[in-house]
Amino acid sequence: MARMPGADWRPIGGNKTPSGMGQIFGVALHIMAGTLTGTESWFNNPRAEASSHFGTGRAGALRQWVDTRDRAWAQAAGNPHWISIENEGKGGDELTDAQLDACARVLAWAHTEHGVPLRIASSPSERGLGHHAMGGAAWGNHTACPGTKVIAQKAEIVRRAKALLAPPKPIKVVIKNGVPQRPGRTLKGAGPHAEGRRPLRAGPGRRGVAGQAQGPRLDHHRGRRVRAEDGRRRQGLPARDRPSRDRCGGPADVGDGVVLAAGPTDAAAVMRARRRRRGELTTSHRWWWA
């Protein structure tokens, strides 16, 4: 069986030839001259003697009605070698942006699953992304299907299919004072030591503008720290030297717009801030752009 992941599998009861596909040459575009729901209902009617492998809705819905190992009845002599996509609309319509995406997904999957080339086909003897009218009389003589506007969009569908399969390009990021920089974007991040903790905000007495995202705040350890210092005072021991909170990762250390969750201790936070300034934590921290 060949069912496309991500497509809504809605098999029709008849109007198809089980295991009837030969070598698959490409994907053929059609226009429904109707709605997605109405077309599906018609394909389930034995009197229709018509079907399609896939269908797209104007809002981007993608349905698969026929397994691509089975022959759908969409383009007569082209049925044994072409996967068919019916697109919601009427003659003269362009495909919506969402439909272009859906068709590109089918083409990319057909390339992976059946070896369909990611290129435009203009005749039944070629391979790639074709359309119903190119088959002429042998394909039912539907000269207006899917229409010139849709035919003109084939190049865009091929481009999007290639983009779906292309490996992601690495993003070049400039490191400045230990912080990745990208013009026009706001950097946010969290260290691996703080996975799952809530980002912290500036508060009274902190350096910077109130409400602006700042570096680590250590108030969630405040109770434990105060109790420890009270115990030392009761025993007559001097208080431990504690780094100033201002040194624990303010904007000068991690850059504006950075949200870092709190670390386990003041001293550890200071060490992380120093390492950030030297650029040593940029690869071990989790960063994203907003």
- For the chain, give the percent of residues with pLDDT over 90: 55
CB-CB contact of 65 with 145 (8 Å): no
Average pLDDT, rounded, for the chain? 76
Regarding predicted confidence, which is higher, 146 or 282? 146
Separation of alpha carbons 238 and 50, rounded Å: 89
Q: Which residues contact 229 (CB under 8 A, 6 or more apart)?
A: 239, 240
Mean pLDDT of all residues in 145-156: 96
Highest-confidence range of 45-54, 254-263, 281-290, by mean pLDDT? 45-54
CB-CB contact of 196 with 262 (8 Å): no
CA angle 11, 17, 22 (to 5 degrees): 110
Q: Please write the tens of the pLDDT for every residue from 64-86.
A: 999 999 999 999 999 999 999 99
Residue 200 has what pLDDT? 38
Q: Which among 281, 284, 288, 285 has a CA at the least distance from the CA of 257?
A: 288
pLDDT band at 7 (very low <50, low <70, confident <90, very high): very high
Asked whether the predicted pLDDT for residue 249 surpasses 70, the reply is no
Instruction: Spell 39-60 as b/e; 16+ CB within 10 A means b.
Output: bbebbbeeeeebbbbbbbbeee
Regarding predicted confidence, which is higher, 59 or 228? 59
Regarding predicted confidence, which is higher, 46 or 179? 46
Separation of alpha carbons 24 and 4, rounded Å: 15
pLDDT band at 100 (very low <50, low <70, confident <90, very high): very high
270 φ/ψ sector (left φ>0, alpha ψ -120 to 50, else beta): alpha
Q: Which among 90, 116, 125 has a CA at the least distance from the CA of 4?
A: 116
Mean pLDDT of all residues in 102-129: 96
Q: What is the reported pTM?
A: 0.61
**37: number of Cβ within 10 Å:** 13
- For the chain, give the percent of residues with pLDDT over 70: 58
Residue 29 has what pLDDT? 98
pLDDT band at 169 (very low <50, low <70, confident <90, very high): confident
Separation of alpha carbons 124 and 135, rounded Å: 6
CB-CB contact of 113 with 57 (8 Å): no
Residue 243 has what pLDDT? 45
DSSP lists the bridge partners of residue 16 as 72
Residue 207 has what pLDDT? 39
Mean pLDDT of all residues in 164-188: 68
Separation of alpha carbons 27 and 161, rounded Å: 12
Asked whether the predicted pLDDT for residue 151 surpasses 50, the reply is yes
Domains of the chain: 8-165 (3.40.80.10), 174-289 (no CATH)
Report residue 173 as tokens. Answer: 């990021």
DSSP lists the bridge partners of residue 128 as 26
94 φ/ψ sector (left φ>0, alpha ψ -120 to 50, else beta): beta
pLDDT band at 265 (very low <50, low <70, confident <90, very high): very low
Regarding predicted confidence, which is higher, 100 or 248? 100
Asked whether the predicted pLDDT for residue 244 surpasses 90, the reply is no
**200: number of Cβ within 10 Å:** 21
pLDDT band at 219 (very low <50, low <70, confident <90, very high): very low
Q: Please write the tens of the pLDDT for every residue from 266-289.
A: 555 666 666 666 655 544 445 555
Separation of alpha carbons 258 and 192, rounded Å: 15
